Amino acid sequence: MSDANTTPLSLPGEKHNRDMANPGEMGAFLLAFVIVAALATGFLLKGLAGVGLVMVMIVPVIYVALVLISVGR
């Protein structure tokens, strides 16, 4: 038997294989944090109008994120 048949493969959910399973995970969490922080800041500074302005400014960012997700990056 060759090593390919006897060596167990690591699963995507295992601790030591986490980075290889989803390398963009930290980027996604960072993007989510920035969006939530911007919405909270807009609400605290300008109320609902600030939230509306932040949402309008975030539309291109979300659009690019969706395009990148759809092409698999």
Identify the CA nearest to 65 among candidates 38, 40, 32, 33.
32
Residue ranges covered by each domain of the chain: 23-73
At 40 the pLDDT is 94
Q: Nearest Cα to 39, choosing from 61, 18, 23? A: 61
- Residues 18-68: tens digit of each pLDDT: 555 666 778 888 888 998 999 999 999 999 999 999 999 989 988 998 998
Can you give the pLDDT at residue 49?
94
The predicted structure's pLDDT at residue 9: 64
